[in-house]
A and B are shown apart, each in its own frame.
Chain A
Amino acid sequence: MNVCILSGKGGTGKTTVAVNLSVLLGADYFDCDVEEPNGFLFLKPENVVSEESKVDYPVFDKQKCLLCGNCAGACEFHALANTRQSILLFPELCHGCHACELVCKPGAISYAQRTTGRIEKGEAHGNRCARGVLNVGESMAVPVIRKLLGGLPENGNCLLDCAPGTSCNVTAALKFADAAVIVTEPTAFGLHDMLLAAELLETRGIPFGVVVNKSDGKDEIIESACTARCIPLFGRIPFSRMAAEAYSRGKLLANLPEYRAPFESIAQSIREAFAWN
């Protein structure tokens, strides 16, 4: 089973929940937030190996190219322009989708690859962990996420720590999801974006529940919304300075005596809800 951890709003604690649950559930961890992967700061994996992540870009055979411009017209991302002197390529906009090849009648297009990021794999706490890292200056996270998750084990137990929001960077990971957890916080922004994430998961038919991080013990704003929509509440993680300090030092909250029980309880709720393990 693959469980995606998402949030809508950034900074609610996806990684905090994902890394601690990875340890408690004995699940492999995949950091899909490739624009700013930070799970390894907490898991501190060993034996890390790195592999480049590449995307295709078109190369034009000038002997064959008729400068018809069909390729530029077909490019949804405006990565190509037909100046009537040559076809210009803007590699940073090219998604490597090969649409240009489909419409090139003289067959003037072949492909080369450029590196836009890397995949790192290691081991921590007896689990496999991996992350995608998008190179600075690159804007396309999805190819790196696809490559990262292309290596998901069959029949494994995996936690996929997703990007914030509900964009392509999230949906690229959701393609691999059997279930999901939304991590939110008891604020108006947390609620608003949690509902966006919930709507996304509902349209995909992915079962999910909610974890409230930075809980003040009341969490009425989240609780009432979950009750109204029949969304299960998997648990709460109390707000405290101690948690913030441990986080800022890269420590796992589940190792703090005060936080062991809340995380155990969340892990148990997830086991039951998704029939995990």
Chain B
Amino acid sequence: MKIAFSCTGTDDTARTDPRFGRCEAFAVADTETQKIAYMQNAAQSAAGGAGIAAAQQLIDAGVKGVLTGNLGPNAFRVLSEAGIKAYCIGEMSVPEALAAFMKGGLAPIGEAGNAHAGMRGGPNA
């Protein structure tokens, strides 16, 4: 099964990023082989609908689970309809995050955080 982490870069020095739609990159890990591949988040600087576009990118990549900090209502709706489960993860390295997922017990994200329009709420909104 493939799972994705929102993260800060495209190599193993990357940290998990609590932002979903506006994160730098996604790490896609195979839970069987433990291999991690990275891809840029094409939606990072989208004018609008970044969460939707990021979720679409992960659907297209065939992931079945997402680990991130916060999901906005639009991204949450897209992932839910696609049957992709989302889990909340703290800030750590990507290999540490994969280990945390394999261990189990991560809190599922059951409802969306507050909507915000683009980056007008600041980078931490």
CB distance A77 to B49 under 8 Å?
yes
CB distance B56 to A81 under 8 Å?
yes
CB distance A82 to B56 under 8 Å?
yes
| One of A78, A86, A139 near B53 (C-beta < 8 A) | A78
CB distance A78 to B46 under 8 Å?
yes
| One of A72, A83, A84, A93 near B48 (C-beta < 8 A) | A93
Q: Say yes or no: is B36 at the interface (Cβ < 8 Å to chain A).
A: no
**In the complex, chain B residues 31-68 whose Cβ is within 8 Å of any chain A Cβ:** 43, 46-50, 52-53, 55-56, 59
Provide the A76-90 mask, 1 if CB < 8 A to any CB of B, else 0: 011101111110101
**In the complex, chain B residues 77-106 whose Cβ is within 8 Å of any chain A Cβ:** 77-78, 81-83
**In the complex, chain A residues 71-128 whose Cβ is within 8 Å of any chain B Cβ:** 72, 77-79, 81-86, 88, 90, 93
A140, closest chain B residue (CB): B48
Q: Cα distance A93–B118 when bound, in Å? A: 12
CB distance A78 to B52 under 8 Å?
yes
| One of B53, B81, B117 near A85 (C-beta < 8 A) | B81
Residues of A within 8 A of B (CB-CB), count: 14
Task: Name the distance in Å between A152's Cβ and chain B's nearest Cβ.
Answer: 28
| One of B48, B50, B55 near A81 (C-beta < 8 A) | B55
Q: Cα distance A87–B77 when bound, in Å? A: 12
Task: Name the distance in Å between A142's Cβ and chain B's nearest Cβ.
Answer: 13
CB distance A78 to B48 under 8 Å?
yes
CB distance B78 to A139 under 8 Å?
no
Q: Say yes or no: is B74 at the interface (Cβ < 8 Å to chain A).
A: yes
CB distance A88 to B48 under 8 Å?
no
CB distance A83 to B46 under 8 Å?
no
Task: Name the distance in Å between B79's Cβ and chain A's nearest Cβ.
Answer: 8
**Chain A residues with Cβ under 8 A from B48's Cβ?**
77-78, 93, 139
CB distance A139 to B55 under 8 Å?
no
Q: List residues of chain B with CB under 8 Å of any chain A CB.
A: 43, 46-50, 52-53, 55-56, 59, 74, 77-78, 81-83, 117
Q: Please provide the 7 A-B residue pairs with the shortest distance between their CB atoms, ordered closest to farther.
A: A78-B49, A83-B82, A83-B81, A81-B78, A78-B53, A78-B52, A93-B49
